[in-house]
Amino acid sequence: MTRHCAGVAAIAAFVVLAAPPLRAHHGNASFDTSKRVTMKGTVTEWIWANPHCFLKIDARDDTGGVRNWALETQNPTAMTQRGWSRQAFKIGDQVTVVLEAVKNGAAIGRIVSVMLPDGSTLSAGNLPNTTPPGQ
């Protein structure tokens, strides 16, 4: 019985010590959290999968060229609790996205909110101030 208790204690200690690094696998370091970017674009793909959902859109940049953006949000379970679904986007939908872009200029960002073609807005809910400017 003593070996069993020691084994359980060792497993519990491992879980407690390993949990913070597992929760902290993503940080804000790569994202420019000091500003939000709003862009209009056309949905090219909606990936509803763990560990993160991704919305891919084509949006025009400052030069008039089109860039395909990969926009991350949370996992399907967390997003379902915020009103999102596997059917939230269709290829070709025109959307307006508020996001935090990565600092290195790549076409990658973290979604704050998305306005759908019908005018309704989905909030990612993982960041403060998720209401798009002007609303």
Q: Is residue 53 part of a domain?
A: yes
The distance of Cα 128 from the centroid of its chain, to the nearest Å, equals 13
Q: Is residue 135 part of a domain?
A: no
Asked whether residue 15 carries a pLDDT value surpassing 90, the answer given is no
Asked whether residue 44 carries a pLDDT value surpassing 70, the answer given is yes
Q: Give the structural domain span for 88.
A: 37-123
SS (H, E, C) 64-126: CCEEEEEEECCCHHHHHCCCCCCCCCCCCCEEEEEEEEECCCCCEEEEEEEECCCCCEEECCC
User: In which band, very low, low, confident or very high, does the pLDDT at 127 lie, cut at 50, 70 and 90?
Assistant: very low
Q: Is residue 98 part of a domain?
A: yes
Collapsing DSSP states into helix, strand and coil, what is residue 22?
helix
Q: Is residue 32 part of a domain?
A: no
Mean pLDDT for the chain overall: 81
Task: Please tell me the total count of domains within the chain.
Answer: 1
**CATH number of the domain that 91 lies in?**
2.40.50.140
- Residue 59 exposure: Cα atoms within 13 Å on the Cβ side: 22
Task: Yes or no: say if 72 and 112 are a contact pair by the CB < 8 Å rule.
Answer: no
Q: Is residue 133 part of a domain?
A: no
pLDDT tens digits, 57-95: 999 988 999 999 999 999 999 999 999 999 999 999 999
